[in-house]
Structure 1
Amino acid sequence: MKIVIITETFLPSTDGIVTRLCETIKWLNAQGHQIMVIAPDLGVHEFNGVPVEGVPAHLLFFYRTKRFAFPSRRVKKYMEAFQPDIVHVVNPALLGLAGIYYARRLGFPLIASYHTNVAQYMDYYHLGLFKPLMWQYFRLMHNRAEMNLCTSRTVKKELNARKFRNVHLWSRGVDLETFSPKKKELEVRRRITHGHPGQTVLLYVGRLAAEKEIERIKEVLDASPDLWLVLVGDGPYRSELENCFRRSNVTFTGFLYGEALAKVYASSDIFVFPSTTETLGLVILEAMASGLPVIAADSGPSREQIENGKNGLLYQPDLPGDLCQKVLSTASGALDLKTMSEAARQTSIDLGWSHASEQLLGFYEMAIGDVQFVPGKRRIV
């Protein structure tokens, strides 16, 4: 099968979308499928033997730490040259708009996948008035596809309620070889705590952005001098967070990848995830695979991964002090951290990426089967 994947974000950027795409591409490539990736041009032109065709990328005035590509006729040129059997537009917003337009114009079967709750983010950037318009825009794009995919049951329910058509659940996955408790190292722990390995290490991995609500962890650090917070990632909110945590036991590592990231996961004690805007929260599963119990804000996608009191804890974001109480009770030994760690690892053990990738291939085959080709156009049968 010849597959074009059009994405708003790709390497060297790192987030849950890029992680999922990289694992998917590796699996599809190993099965003998031909793949082309179309993405913002960030200097990466090949991944795992797969060509990455770039579209010029630009900074947006309200998001200065990441480059985005706008709709471009290059997308049409790349598609026409490759002649795919299926086009998969990932998280369509800007570049993805061209992917959807040209896939339909050229008559290629089209799948779109939804990964980011952009409309919900509007509240954190004082743009709440635009939420209805954002939902209308994304619904219009997604409903041009034969099939839509999302990554949690909670999001599927919301998309159905908002009249997105033909929505299917694309299963989550994790790299169980990379993320493992066996990667724990005392020297890594010493480094990330600036020489205080005896502290209880709280870990957050992800974008440093306003919608992640990372500053909520400040009250936890203020309540105990025995805690150390490690923030892995970068983003537009970093300077605000550095100011917020300036007198606290905190390490900002910037982006980490591969083995370096896996070692930090495994060398920490508790994963803390305050965000309520996730469509999945892939880092939750990476933390569990590394043997970390997760303390997360109670939200639909988090509930799908965390069994409260077994492999982690859910706190109520609207209940003052609940996050602090949950973290301190876990760190103090009031809850059995070792048992929760083992349960967290067990949660991830059957969720390797091969199942999710094989499922995606099945979706591709379904979408192709639903389209009859006519020169220059198509129709649903």
Structure 2
Amino acid sequence: MKIAIVTETFLPSTDGIVTRLTKAIDYFIREGHEVLVIAPDLGVYDYKGAKVVGVKPITFPFYRYRKWGVPSRKVYRELKKFQPDVVHAVNPILLATSAVKAAQKLDLPLVSSYHTHLPKYLDYYKVYKPAKPLLWWYIKRNHKNADLNLVTSKAIHDELAEQGIERLDIIPRGVDVIHRHPDYRDEEMRERLTGGKPSNKLLVFIGRIAVEKEIHKLLPLLEKRPDISLAIIGDGPARTDIEKRFKGTNTVFTGFIHGEELSKAFATGDAFIFPSVSETLGLVILESMASGLPVIGAKSGPTNEQVAHGVTGMLYENEDLDSMMEAVSVLEDEEKLETMRRNARNEALDYAWDKTSQRLIDFYMEARDRHSVGSRNM
């Protein structure tokens, strides 16, 4: 099968979407499929045999943290030349909207996938919040002609269905159970992540540092619990503000780390803390579980689907400090914590990437079959 993937984000960027895509491409290439990737031009032109075509990116003045691809006729030209069996528009907001239009013009099967819950993000930026109805209209327009629309959780599936988006299905979760493993636990890394206080309980947060990640809500916890250290691993537009707010607490900011260092960071904590309620999935949840870390997370649809309260982690009510403190108190119960570590690891073992990637191939074939009989209304 010839597969064209048009995405708003790709290497060398690091986020959940890029992880999902690279793991899928690894599998596609091994299985003999031909893959073309069209993405913002960040200097990567080949990925393990898959050709990567770059589109000149721009930087928006209100979000200088990253570069963005914008709609381009180059997408149409590349798809026309490649003649794929299926086009996958990943998060069609800017660049990937060109894939939606090109697939229609070229009469190609189209899969669109929804990974970033932008309407929810607007709740955290008051100046943009009134634009939410317009944003939903734009999202629906970019998904209405897909032969299949993929989401990453049942909660998001139901929300998009309520908005009138049709032909929805759920991409299974996936995780690298080899490089996310409890055996990567490392005492030197613990010394680093606790700021030289390895006897402290260690909570780990890994991800983009942005307002919608709600990291600031962890501050009262740290002020009340000086025996807890927090490691914030990642970077983003809110980092400077968060560093100022957390000054004087037991918080370590590492910036982005990769490879074996990141595996060690996942495995070395006592628990993974996940305060965000704006995610479509939160791939880091499953990565932490594979690493043997229980998850302490704010309740939201996608998080509730992944974390079994009292079994693989602890859930707390969003914006309720007492509820958060109660969830974190599990750190004092070493026997229960150890049981949850084992449960988390065992749960993750059911979600190897190859299974997820093969399911994506199945979705591509379903979209191709639907398109061939003109059955988008099925």
Residue 191 in structure 1 maps to residue 192 in structure 2: yes
Q: Taking structure 1 as the reference length, what is the TM-score of the superposition?
A: 0.96
Question: Which residue does the alignment assign to 2:106?
Answer: 106
* Displacement of 1:318: 3.7
Distance 1:380 1:299 in 2: 31
Distance 2:28 2:320 in 1: 45
Q: 1:247/1:380 Cα in 2 relative to 1: closer, same or farther (>3 Å)?
A: closer
* Displacement of 1:335: 6.9
Amino acid paired to 2:170: L
Structure 1 unaligned spans of 5+ = none
Distance 2:319 2:202 in 1: 25
Distance 2:89 2:188 in 1: 42
- Conserved? CA contact 1:124–1:211, under 8 Å: yes
State the SS of the aligned residue for 1:140. Answer: helix
Question: Which residue does the alignment assign to 1:81?
Answer: 81
State the SS of the aligned residue for 1:303. Answer: helix
Amino acid paired to 1:209: A
Q: Deviations over 1:212-247 (max 9, x none)?
A: 100111111111221111011111110110011111
Distance 2:12 2:376 in 1: 37
Q: 1:190/1:334 Cα in 2 relative to 1: closer, same or farther (>3 Å)?
A: closer
* Displacement of 1:168: 0.4
Question: Which residue does the alignment assign to 2:266?
Answer: 265
Amino acid paired to 1:256: I
Question: Which residue does the alignment assign to 2:358?
Answer: 358
- Conserved? CA contact 1:188–1:267, under 8 Å: yes
Residue 55 in structure 1 maps to residue 75 in structure 2: no
Residue 175 in structure 1 maps to residue 166 in structure 2: no
* Displacement of 1:187: 1.2
Amino acid paired to 1:244: R
Distance 1:183 1:301 in 2: 27
State the SS of the aligned residue for 1:252. Answer: strand
Distance 1:220 1:66 in 2: 31
Question: Which residue does the alignment assign to 1:212?
Answer: 213
Structure 2 unaligned spans of 5+ = none
Amino acid paired to 1:29: I
Amino acid paired to 1:208: I
Question: Which residue does the alignment assign to 1:222?
Answer: 223
Q: Deviations over 1:124-155 (max 9, x none)?
A: 11111111111110011011111100010111
* Displacement of 1:379: 8.3
- Conserved? CA contact 2:8–2:96, under 8 Å: yes
Distance 2:238 2:335 in 1: 33
CA RMSD after TM alignment:
1.4
Farther off after superposition, 188-197 or 357-366: 188-197
Distance 2:322 2:64 in 1: 33
Question: Which residue does the alignment assign to 1:343?
Answer: 343
Distance 1:204 1:72 in 2: 36
Distance 2:359 2:301 in 1: 22
State the SS of the aligned residue for 1:251. Answer: strand
Question: Which residue does the alignment assign to 1:137?
Answer: 138
Q: How does 1:249-328 map to 2 (within 5 A)?
A: 249-327=250-328
Question: Which residue does the alignment assign to 2:151?
Answer: 150
- Conserved? CA contact 2:167–2:376, under 8 Å: no
Distance 2:375 2:283 in 1: 36
- Conserved? CA contact 2:7–2:37, under 8 Å: yes
The alignment of Structure 1 onto Structure 2 pairs a total of residues equal to: 376
Farther off after superposition, 218-227 or 2-11: 218-227
Amino acid paired to 1:4: A
Distance 1:214 1:334 in 2: 26
State the SS of the aligned residue for 1:20. Answer: helix
State the SS of the aligned residue for 2:78. Answer: helix
Q: 1:380/1:209 Cα in 2 relative to 1: closer, same or farther (>3 Å)?
A: closer
State the SS of the aligned residue for 1:351. Answer: coil
Distance 1:169 1:56 in 2: 31
Question: Which residue does the alignment assign to 1:123?
Answer: 123
- Conserved? CA contact 1:219–1:324, under 8 Å: no
Residue 239 in structure 1 maps to residue 262 in structure 2: no
- Conserved? CA contact 1:150–1:168, under 8 Å: yes
Farther off after superposition, 359-368 or 311-320: 311-320
Distance 1:379 1:80 in 2: 23
State the SS of the aligned residue for 1:21. Answer: helix
* Displacement of 1:159: 0.9
Distance 1:268 1:314 in 2: 18
* Displacement of 1:334: 7.5
- Conserved? CA contact 2:38–2:75, under 8 Å: yes
* Displacement of 1:286: 0.3
- Conserved? CA contact 1:372–1:380, under 8 Å: no
State the SS of the aligned residue for 1:35. Answer: strand
* Displacement of 1:36: 0.5
Question: Which residue does the alignment assign to 1:70?
Answer: 70
Distance 1:91 1:257 in 2: 24
Distance 1:323 1:40 in 2: 39
Q: Deviations over 1:61-117 (max 9, x none)?
A: 221111101101111121122111100000110001111011111111100000110
